[in-house]
Amino acid sequence: MEDLAEKIFNLLGDRPGYELVQIRFVNEREENLTYRNGMPRGLNKSQSQGVGIRVRANYSWGFAATNDLSKDAIIKTAELAWKVANSSAKVARKTQLELVPEPVYEDKYSVRIDKDPFEIDLKDKLDLLKDANNTMKENSKHVKMSVINYRANEQKVNFYSSEGSKIEQRLLFTGGSILGVASYAGDTQTRNLSNFRRRGWEFIEEYDFIAKAEQVGKEIDILVTEAESCPSGKSTLILEPFQLGLTIHESCSHPSELDRVFGYEADFAGTSWLTPEKLNNLQYGNEQVNITQDPSMPDVLGHFKYDDEGVKARPVPIIREGIFVGYESDREYASLLGLERSSGNSKSDSYSNVPIIRINNMYLEADPEGYTNVDDMISDTKDGIYGLNWKSHSIDDKRLNFQFATQIGYKIENGEITKPLKNVTYQQITPEFWGNVSGLTRTSEIYGLPYCGKGSPVMQIGYVSHGGPWGRFEGVNVGING
């Protein structure tokens, strides 16, 4: 592969307008297993390999890909990418941008894998899903549908740049979800627990599908038999890390993507309200709000050592003490804004798709002097609602005004949980919401979401992670029915 990459560099390197070539050889395999209502529903295995080639010429990009790994086919693909780059130059931006610099790297890296999931016997995996499925039914009288899913995905990527970088990465994740749907007395509710990490089979053992299935079974019955509807009005709201992470995803992660900011991406809920003049000036939240994007954090789903432009992962602050201070970028959009370096957010979901700016791992930082845990936070809350896990959401095309629904909630009165709630919704304008943080815990958790969609006409699926501490917010609109 390295020899072929050098041949392409030499082939294109002397042509007028030539700037750069980036080549990614990707070998991917996936296993996706599902048990539904006591029966195996999906037993899917897939594998793909191919090469994606980006050429930059005359300040414009060209991209082409092939799954034919013969020498002749790959060289033809490079020629096609060259032609696309030159055609793109005819309709390129008026501003001619140099890419921001990045050091050259030669490295081999693998995420932590104690037990290779693809070497675990299929029967053991199916038995685990079946047992979890049965456990949910044993703990719920009203469950109508129970779905247990397991997924493992591995990408081996060899990246070569004409600038000199030679990077080999093995990126693997495992995880799953436990879903229950119950119906009783004319009411239907869902409860779902899920998580994914850049770890091997050992994470599946740690996650404990059986315990999660028991929890879902019990809580789904509570939702349809005991839970009251969420009251309407303004309330103190406590969110656990999973739901807090989804709120970050929609109200901070996507709007801080620079392609959205500059209007070059407007699919899936539009552009962004975080326009450039707000950088280092906008009061996004109060002083307790510190949000960081950091794909260098090990084990979380958004982790990698290098992005698909060869930029080394590192923590980049987005919000500091409530002030908006950073964007998610690649090398070109960083240049467009006048930044010194890319934040390392250039990612593609396969060899066949061009890298674009993608969320990786963004989280709210815990407060080292905050509440010891959520129990202490609840005991210090006179009147409020505790919301857990995502059910649905809606957000405007600038990602400024949002509304979420959680799967289950609990009423807090005089420092104690008094009753379960269903159909818990909350709505707020983003800076109002983050401006009303009244407490964070010292501990935090990060959750993986392997289904973030972005891009048109070909939607790419991103593997991202979010989370943080348990957070408390004041004056939130809850119980929204419209």
Q: Give the confidence band of 207 by pLDDT, cuts at 50, 70, 90.
A: very high
- CB neighbours of 14 closer than 8 A, spacing ≥ 6? none
Question: 29 with 47: CB under 8 angstroms?
Answer: yes
For residue range 367-418, list pLDDT tens digits in order.
999 999 999 999 999 999 999 999 999 999 999 999 999 999 999 999 999 9
At 66, which helix (H) or strand (E)?
A: strand 60-66
pLDDT mean over 59-88: 97
For residue range 340-368, list pLDDT tens digits in order.
999 999 999 999 999 999 999 999 999 99
Q: Give the confidence band of 274 by pLDDT, cuts at 50, 70, 90.
A: very high
CA distance 24 to 37: 41
CATH of the domain at 125: 3.30.2290.10
CA distance 214 to 272: 41
- Give the number of domains in the chain: 2
Q: Which residue, of 156, 191, 226, is where some domain finishes? A: 226
CA distance 225 to 477: 26
pLDDT mean over 125-152: 97
In this predicted structure, the answer to whether residue 1 has a pLDDT above a threshold of 90 is: no
Q: Which residue, of 166, 200, 226, is where some domain finishes? A: 226
User: Do 109 and 156 reside in the same domain of the chain?
Assistant: yes
Beta strands in 198-315 (DSSP E): 228-229, 233-239, 291-293
**How far from the centroid of its chain's Cα atoms is residue 33's Cα?**
21
pLDDT at 269: 72
Average pLDDT, the chain: 96
Q: Give the confidence band of 94 by pLDDT, cuts at 50, 70, 90.
A: low
User: Do 318 and 197 reside in the same domain of the chain?
Assistant: no
User: Do 200 and 234 reside in the same domain of the chain?
Assistant: no
- Tell me the residue range of the domain where 394 lies: 229-478
User: Do 261 and 205 reside in the same domain of the chain?
Assistant: no
In this predicted structure, the answer to whether residue 334 has a pLDDT above a threshold of 90 is: yes
* Percent of the chain's residues with pLDDT above 70: 99
Q: Give the confidence band of 481 by pLDDT, cuts at 50, 70, 90.
A: confident
User: Do 386 and 262 reside in the same domain of the chain?
Assistant: yes
For residue range 427-453, list pLDDT tens digits in order.
999 999 999 999 999 999 999 999 999
User: Do 175 and 64 reside in the same domain of the chain?
Assistant: yes
Q: Which residue, of 165, 195, 226, is where some domain finishes? A: 226
